[in-house]
Amino acid sequence: MERRVFLKKYLKVSVFFLLTLFSAIASLFIFPSVKREKKTLFFKVFSEYNLPKRGLKRVDIKIENNVRHYSMAVFIVNHDNEIFALSPVCTHLGCLVNWSRHKNLFICPCHGGVYDIKGFIKEGPPRKPLSRLPLKTDNGEVYIGLKV
Ligand code: FES
């Protein structure tokens, strides 16, 4: 094979390879990977008998799937004859809030976010209230819905 012919073929193969590589990289930006849609799964926390009569109760829900095992805290609140579940995740930057029994408020230790017992903002940088989580009872058991 002549040197000139070899160089032409080499150049064509190189250009083809570079174009393929470029289009593969460009497709990553044009079609970002599809995010996995999280499903709401209900976790049994305790029997209805253990629901707080008033005020709130913190429960830790153990989540086990084939990827990882972890636990998540949830506040179950009984206030003004309404029972609901609140996420402890601060809506500012995601720290976990604590309940202050003395102040009757949720307080975020990170930047001073403060929420009332219904999860509404009282002070600080958060712009949204604490998230309410699905809560249901079935056959005398209480279930909390979490997106996992
Ligand atoms: S993360 Fe809670 S106030 Fe910033």
52 and 26 belong to one structural domain: no
Strand partners, 69: 64
Q: Tell me: do 54 and 103 sit in the same domain.
A: yes
User: 27 and 54, same structural domain?
Assistant: no
Distance (Å, whole) CA 70 – CA 63: 5
DSSP annotation of 126:
-
Predicted local confidence at residue 1, as pLDDT: 65
Number of domains the chain contains: 2
Q: Write down the pLDDT at residue 134.
A: 96
**Residue 136 sits in the same domain as residue 77:** yes
Claim: this prediction has a pTM higher than 0.75: no
Determine the Cα–Cα distance for residues 88 and 84; give it in Å rounded to an integer.
13
Residue 26 belongs to what domain range? 1-34
Are 61 and 30 contained in the same domain? Answer: no
Joined tokens for residue 24 = 């593969």
- Considering the domain architecture, whether residues 59 and 124 belong to the same structural domain is answered as yes
Confidence of residue 105 (pLDDT cuts 50, 70, 90): very high
Ligand 1 site, residue 111, Cβ cutoff 6 A: yes
4-61 residue pLDDT tens:
777 788 788 777 777 777 777 776 667 766 666 788 889 999 999 999 999 999 999 8
Q: Among 110, 122, 130, 131, which residue has the most ligand 1 atoms within 8 Å of its CB, making it the best to mutate?
A: 110
Edge to edge, the sheet with strand 132-133 lists 55-64, 69-79, 82-86, 132-133
Pair 13, 72 in one domain: no
Nearest CA to ligand 1 atom 1: 93
User: Mean of the pLDDT values across residues 117-142?
Assistant: 96
Say whether both 74 and 92 belong to one domain: yes
- How close is the Cα of 76 to the center of ligand 1, in Å? 21
State how far the alpha carbon of 98 is from the alpha carbons of 52, 74, 113, 129, in Å.
17, 11, 11, 15
Domain with residue 69: its CATH number is 2.102.10.10
For 134, the enclosing helix (H) or strand (E) is none
Map 12-49 to HEC letters.
Answer: HHHHHHHHHHHHHHHHHHHCCCCCCCCCEEEEEEEEHH
* Whether residues 140 and 85 fall in one domain: yes
Q: Are 15 and 69 members of one domain? A: no
Query: Does 3 score more than 80 pLDDT?
Result: no
Same domain (yes/no): 82, 128: yes
- Quickly count: other Cβ atoms within 10 Å of residue 120's Cβ: 12
Indicate whether 4 and 46 sit together in one domain.
no
Q: pLDDT at position 6, please?
A: 75
